[in-house]
Amino acid sequence: MKAVFIVFNQAHTERFEYMFDKLGIRGFTWWNDVTGKGSETGEPRMGTHTWPEMNAAVLAIIPHEKVEPLLENIRNLDEVNKTVGIRAFVWDIVQMI
């Protein structure tokens, strides 16, 4: 199993809902109204007057064979508009209850 943590502009919410349904990813935790700033590029998403946009984040624990299809979909979505912003991080799940 792998953990995939994804942070994305809330403008992509419906796309991620569709993507998860299409890939059969059912188990996840979703956070709305996530603030932050990218480490290399991108503008802050702070929910303020100056930086009004917001991010969302999702953590999914998925079988390793679903990781590459998910990342490929995320890469394709990111290519459409790099300034909107998406980041995905993957790590191993050693144990789970």
- Using a 10 angstrom Cβ sphere, with 0-12 exposed, 13-18 middle and 19 or more buried, the burial of residue 44 is middle
pTM value is 0.90
22-76 confidence digits (pLDDT tens): 999 999 999 999 998 877 777 788 888 888 889 999 999 999 999 999 999 999 9
Token pair recorded at residue 74: 């995320």
Cα dihedral 96, 14, 22, 43, rounded to 10, equals -70
> What are the structural domains, with CATH classification, of the chain?
2-92 (3.30.70.120)
